[in-house]
Structure 1
Amino acid sequence: MVRFNPKARLDQSRVRDAGASGGRGPAGSGMRIPLPGGKGGIGGIVVLVILFLLARFLGLDLGLGGGTSGDSPAAQKPTSGLVQLRYEDCRSGADANTNQDCARLAIENSITAYWADALPELRDYDGGGARQFRAIDALYTFTGSVNTGCGPASSDVGPFYCPSDESIYLDTTFFDDVLERQLGGPDGVFVEFYVLAHEYGHHISNLIGSMGLVRTQETGPDSPGVRLELQADCFAGMWAAHASQTRDADGNLLIEELSKQDLDEALAAAAAVGDDRIQQTTQGRTNPESWTHGSAAQRQYWFTRGYKDGGCDTFAARTVQVR
């Protein structure tokens, strides 16, 4: 089980809690996990995100957040009424060792610290030269529903990254209610951390320009959307390989150790949200041509690839399928 350095100092500035609210039904959001019944999912390319990427590519303003559209309903963020009590006592690695909320905050700190150093080594898909790292704007936890820069979303959509406001939204009931009970996924603390690292991977894809390569809703095991999802899994593996080297602002190590159990939980979670596993569970059959996230084998392979050698250029690979 992951162990945090008790002396590490935690940065609370980007982790916020939007509390609980009544569900409003799912809306087009960001990159997310495929859920049973077609309600949403980890990393899926939904209509609103496609519109966002097309708008950015064509220089159009479709009111999806930022620019002059900041007052539009789709651009709202949970900036008022935030329940900060959830994280206010999360100050050290010792707190992270005894409290899941504090552990979540510590993992966000670790992922941010890793990518601040690693981003310049990645390929720039826009050809504009070296990219400057910027952290996510925020990690919001919520239950029920939440406003985002990509529009209102309910718990039905699962965890997701919104490229419009560069924030991650995490429904904390997802792991027990959906991943474990509905999909038969693993029960372990590192499962959530894998998901968080995956969603942060989408932020990295956004920064380096590979997210902009996905401009259609094309599906299939080698489709651009699947390549983007597998890149996020690969980026999660890259972080996991270096997590025990990340440091706080004072130079203290944040994480003392990731165990084999932690990595096994990440791989089991990756398999549980594979398109083939979800289709088999919910429909009794699989249809590779409809895949939007990758199979269980693909997701496990690319997480492991990132962990072993950091070869995460899924868009340059001739195929991302696992033979």
Structure 2
Amino acid sequence: MKWQGRRKSDNLEDRRGMSSGGKTVVGGGIIGIVILLLNVFGGENGQMVGNILQQTQGKQPAQTEARELTAAELEEQAFVNAVLVDNEDVWTKIFQENNMTYKQPKLILFSGAVETACGNATSDSGPFYCPGDQKVYMDLTFFEELKTRFGAKGGDFATAYVIAHEIGHHVQTLLGTSAKMREMQQGKSKAEANKLSVALELQADFYAGLWTHYNQKMKGILEDGDLDEALSAAHAVGDDAIQAKMQGHIVPESFTHGTSEQRKYWFMKGYKTGDINQGNTFAEIR
């Protein structure tokens, strides 16, 4: 991905220089939250964590210790900043084209554990968006696991795809789609509620593809192999691929993010059409 030379975003916060030993103090004690790998990379994990922790009281800040970022971390920071800037530019344009105003989200880089408005999370959750504070949270070690454990190709555009997916969830929050989905889930069976969750996640994949389409037209960012990197990441985080690897069998009724083929299809549909009105996954996912 061609990304050098971007302006500096005001919405990136790098907390990797602040270490708390992977522990968070809540209610006077240390609570560890285990996010199943079946929920890896996705969307509203922060909402689930928040539901667990809303019952706790007396939250106290964790003790932190500062350190300087390494040269490699600063390079990662510069890349994430560039992707964030490109998302800001693209979504501002798309919203303007539809007579709306885009509110930019924050993106938080962290190591190990993080406190959010949705509760506390660890790197095990994968990247996620918290609607409570409208921030994207990422531990970049996730991308190494995506390669070594789940077989993705890796590469800078795989990271860009994941960031764009999570910002897609922010777009859904701004448009009211996420809230409407949760309303639709009320009273539904678990299987039916899961189908709605799949539609939400696939729409975020569509938005990632839409962002790629606009960004290519505006800045010519794509290099050879970039789309393959994104598609490889999308394949690796499909529910069927993860379940097959983690438990040896597939349970379609439990899918919450979509199959590998669905995730790749909707990303490419966003990329090929460049039309936000083509992303009604709720009408097509039954």
Rounded Cα–Cα distance in structure 1 between residues aligned with 2:101 and 2:68: 30
1:168-220 CA-partner distances (Å, limit 9, x unpaired): 100011111x2111111112111111100000000000000110122238446
TM-aligned CA deviation for residue 22 of structure 1: 2.3
Counterpart secondary structure, 1:280? helix
Residue 291 of structure 1 and its aligned partner are, at CA, apart by 0.2
Name the amino acid aligned to 1:22. G
Q: Is the 8 A contact 1:220 1:226 kept in 2?
A: no
Instruction: Return closer, same or farther for 1:193/1:86 CA change in 2, 3 Å cut-off.
Output: farther
Alignment of 1:27-66 (within 5 A): 36=37, 38=38, 40-43=39-42, 45-46=44-45, 48-49=47-48
Q: Does 2:167 correspond to 1:170?
A: no
Bigger proportion of residues as helix: 2
- Contact 1:233–1:302 at 8 Å: present in 2 too? yes
- 1:314 is matched with 281
Q: Does 1:210 align with 2:177?
A: yes
Does residue 1:115 correspond to 2:91, yes or no?
Answer: yes
In the alignment, structure 1 segments of 5+ residues that lack a partner are: 29-34, 53-61, 65-70, 91-98, 123-129, 247-254
Q: Residue 21 of structure 1 corresponds to which residue in structure 2?
A: 20
Structure-2 residue corresponding to 1:139 = 107
1:283 is matched with which residue?
247
Contact 2:45 2:128 in 1 (8 A): no
User: Which of 215, 219, 230 is the matching residue for 1:266?
Assistant: 230
Shift of 1:277: 0.3
Bigger relative contact order (CA 8 A; separation at least 6): 1
The alignment partner of 2:225 has SS state of helix
Equivalence for 1:3: 2
Q: Secondary structure at the match of 1:169?
A: strand
Match for residue 128 of structure 2 among 153, 160, 163: 160
User: For 2:233 and 2:68, how far apart are their aligned partners in 1?
Assistant: 29
* One-letter amino acid of the structure 2 residue matched with residue 149 of structure 1: A
Q: 1:112 to 1:81 in 2, by over 3 A?
A: farther
Change in CA separation of 1:50 and 1:147 when aligned onto 2, cut-off 3 Å: closer
Deviation (angstroms), 1:5: 5.1
What is the identity, as a one-letter code, of the residue corresponding to 1:181? T
Q: CA RMSD in A?
A: 3.2
For residues 223 and 181 of structure 1, what CA distance do their matches in structure 2 show? 29
Q: Is the 8 A contact 1:23 1:145 kept in 2?
A: yes
Distance between the aligned counterparts of 2:155 and 2:213, measured in 1? 19
Corresponding residue SS for 2:281: coil
Q: For residue 109 of structure 1, what is the amino acid of its counterpart?
A: V
- Scaled by the length of structure 2, what TM-score is found? 0.81
TM-score for both structures, normalised by structure 1: 0.72
Counterpart residue number, 1:183 = 150
* Local SS of the residue matching 1:153: strand
* Residues in 2 aligned to 1:134 and 1:51: alpha-carbon distance in whole angstroms: 23
Task: Output the amino acid matched with 1:189.
Answer: D
Deviations 1:124-153 (A, max 9, x none): xxxxxx5421000x2111111111111111
Asked whether the equivalents of residues 12 and 105 of structure 1 are also in contact (C-alpha less than 8 Å), the reply is yes
Q: How does 1:228-307 map to 2 (within 5 A)?
A: 228-246=200-218, 255-307=219-271
- SS across alignment from 1:257: coil
* In structure 2, C-alpha distance between the alignment counterparts of 1:47 and 1:195, rounded to whole Å: 16
Structure 1 residues 18 and 223: alpha-carbon distance in aligned structure 2, compared to 1, 3 A threshold: same
Distance 1:27 1:207, change over 3 A: farther
Tell me how far apart the structure 1 counterparts of residues 171 and 79 of structure 2 sit (CA, whole Å): 22
- The 1:221/1:48 distance shift into structure 2, 3 A limit, reads closer
Pairs aligned (count): 264
Counterpart CA distance in 2 for 1:238 and 1:220 is: 27
Preserved CA contact (<8 Å) 1:279 1:286: yes
8 Å Cα contact 1:184-1:272 kept in structure 2: yes
Change (3 A) 1:121 1:21: same
CA distance in 2, matches of 1:107, 1:228: 22
2:240–2:252 CA contact under 8 A, matched in 1: yes
